[in-house]
Amino acid sequence: MLGELIEKEAIDISRILPADQNHTEELKDKLTAAQRLGNEFKSKADITFNTMDGTKTVSTTVWAVTEKYIQLKNGIHLPLSSLIDIDF
């Protein structure tokens, strides 16, 4: 785990920043796998992303992946540009 572990309810979308490097292309396969794990098996993924307060990690199910966002439960959308790593 790369960042401070937080609950998904503690994610403040107004404090999310793009990561130093865009990892979207290299994380494509992990994004697809995380979405499948969430939808078919109700399994969680550890998602590490960049914020104004430093790197944060949330352990949650991924509901959907779009061109620009990853959708989590409770209508939370994280920009793909903010993602640093995904682990499951």
Q: Which of 79, 24, 19, 29 is nearest to 71 (CA)?
A: 79
Supply the pLDDT for residue 1: 60
CB-based contact 38:48 (threshold 8 Å)? no
Q: Within the chain, which residues score under 70 in pLDDT?
A: 1
Supply the pLDDT for residue 61: 95
Domains of the chain: 4-87 (2.30.30)
pLDDT tens, residue by residue, 38-62: 999 999 999 999 999 999 999 999 9
Cα atoms found within 13 Å of the Cα of residue 60, Cβ hemisphere only: 25
Q: List, in order, residues 6 or more apart from 16 with CB less than 8 Å away.
A: 49, 50, 51, 52, 78, 79, 82
